[in-house]
Amino acid sequence: MADFKGYLVILLLGVISTSLLTGKRCISEGEDGGVIRRMLNDITEVMGTFNLSDHIWFFKNLDVQGVKKRSKEIRARFDSLIEKIIKEHEEVRKEIKKKGEVKDLLDNLLDISENEGTEIKLAGEHIKAFFLLDIMGGATQSPSISTEWALAELINHPNIMKKAVEEIDQVVGKNRLLQEADIPNLPHLQAIVKESLRLHPPGPMIIRQSSVDCTVGGYQIPAKTTIFFNVWSLGRDPNYWESPLEFRPERFDEKQMDVRGQNFQFLPFGSGRRMCPGISLALMVLHVTLGSIIQCFEWKAGWDGNLTSVDMEEGTGITLPRANPLVCIPVARIDPVPLCM
Ligand code: HEM
């Protein structure tokens, strides 16, 4: 076994998603990766704030909590960042076109915006909006937060971690990395991902507006009412879940329950026409990332690697992040050399 030690504060998927979106890998805090991560944290925090001005008529034109001011400041930061990324992109695009290299999402959006013949006209502002909320927010924050919670749960439940690692060793072995095609053969890993999404849904609140007057559970709901569905509390409701606060992935072996919005006590990706469109990518990324990091490393909790458990305090924000980042030391458990060849 290669003896490899290092400190790692889990900031996982920012790296992967930034690469998918902009073709760029940002590893260190000093690069755009750190800037993007901080900005996304700010966005989700401000979006998760209950803004009195949105809900109480009297406060409509007052920015009592400073949410509007903060939103404008974040938007200005985002604007300058995305403009920088777009500019960098434009400089290398001609080369990419010549070589016929694989494009990233931003390249495709820029192609569409430059094409006079398209039915839908895409302007710079649309690219920014699409990039900011729909893709950067949805595609980076949720999977990275979910992976962090799942790993924290595994660190706190060594028996479940042991079973997951044994399953991966048996199905994948130690000479290659876990891949997407392995996921159907890893039922315990799948159950871990579901159980973690049940307790820590990165979309804890789903929002809808009623289109017509209706009655639900005896309550009359007028048309155009904003309705909040509390996914977090549904996942912890003792009427539907036995010992709801316990992390017990095997409950999903007993109950064959999927995550695609058909079981209303378990809606990590929402439900209906507005449910998460990134669900397939998200599930693939979650299983492959979590599976690979426990396949390749043993995780020792704390800066000195001497903690037996980690705290599970929730922070603020619309994506339900951890209050404190997960800090642990990865110790390599397989020889990385064959994997790199
Ligand atoms: C762990 C991963 C993820 C979780 C748990 C998650 C969860 C959710 C939830 C709960 C919603 C609201 C659904 C509703 O209102 O019914 C949502 C919306 C959305 N998600 Fe995800 N998501 C994840 C990953 C992704 C990824 C990877 C992408 C993009 C590639 C993505 C793109 C979106 C978009 C664009 C929306 C807005 C859809 C709309 O308003 O019509 N999500 N997601």
Q: pLDDT, tens digit, for every residue of 35-87?
A: 777 877 788 788 778 888 888 888 888 888 898 999 899 888 888 887 887 78
Q: Which tokens sit at 138?
A: 């949805």
Confidence at residue 25, expressed as pLDDT on a 0 to 100 scale: 58
Percentage of the chain exceeding pLDDT 90: 49
Q: Which of 276, 280, 290 to mutate to test the pocket of ligand 1 (most atoms within 8 A of CB)?
A: 276
Confidence at residue 234, expressed as pLDDT on a 0 to 100 scale: 97
Cβ atoms within 10 Å, residue 242: 10
Nearest to 265 by CA among 281, 252, 253, 274: 252
Percentage of the chain exceeding pLDDT 70: 85
CATH 1.10.630.10 fits 8-340, yes or no: yes
Confidence at residue 131, expressed as pLDDT on a 0 to 100 scale: 67
Position 214 pLDDT exceeds 80: yes
User: How far is CA 121 from each of CA 86, 110, 283, rounded to the nearest angstrom?
Assistant: 18, 11, 32
Q: H helices of the chain, where? A: 12-22, 32-47, 52-55, 67-99, 105-114, 124-129, 142-156, 158-171, 187-199, 231-234, 251-254, 279-296, 336-340
Burial of 276 by CB count in 10 Å (0-12 exposed, 13-18 middle, 19+ buried)? buried
**Position with higher pLDDT, 169 vs 12:** 169
Confidence at residue 101, expressed as pLDDT on a 0 to 100 scale: 67
Confidence at residue 58, expressed as pLDDT on a 0 to 100 scale: 85
**Position with higher pLDDT, 3 vs 224:** 224
Position 29 pLDDT exceeds 70: no
Residues within 6 Å of ligand 1 by CB: 134-135, 138-139, 142-143, 146, 202-203, 206, 268-271, 274-278, 281-282, 286
Helix, strand, coil share (%) of the chain residues, nearest 5: 50, 10, 40
Q: How far apart are CA 61 and CA 70, in angstroms?
A: 15
Confidence at residue 125, expressed as pLDDT on a 0 to 100 scale: 79
Q: Which of 142, 259, 283 to mutate to test the pocket of ligand 1 (most atoms within 8 A of CB)?
A: 142
Q: Which of 269, 289, 318 to mutate to test the pocket of ligand 1 (most atoms within 8 A of CB)?
A: 269
Q: How confident is the model at residue 211 (pLDDT cuts 50, 70, 90)?
A: very high
Distance 278 CA to ligand 1 centre (A): 6
| Residue ranges of domains in the chain | 8-340
Confidence at residue 108, expressed as pLDDT on a 0 to 100 scale: 80
Ranked by mean pLDDT, the top range of 113-117, 236-240, 316-320 is 236-240
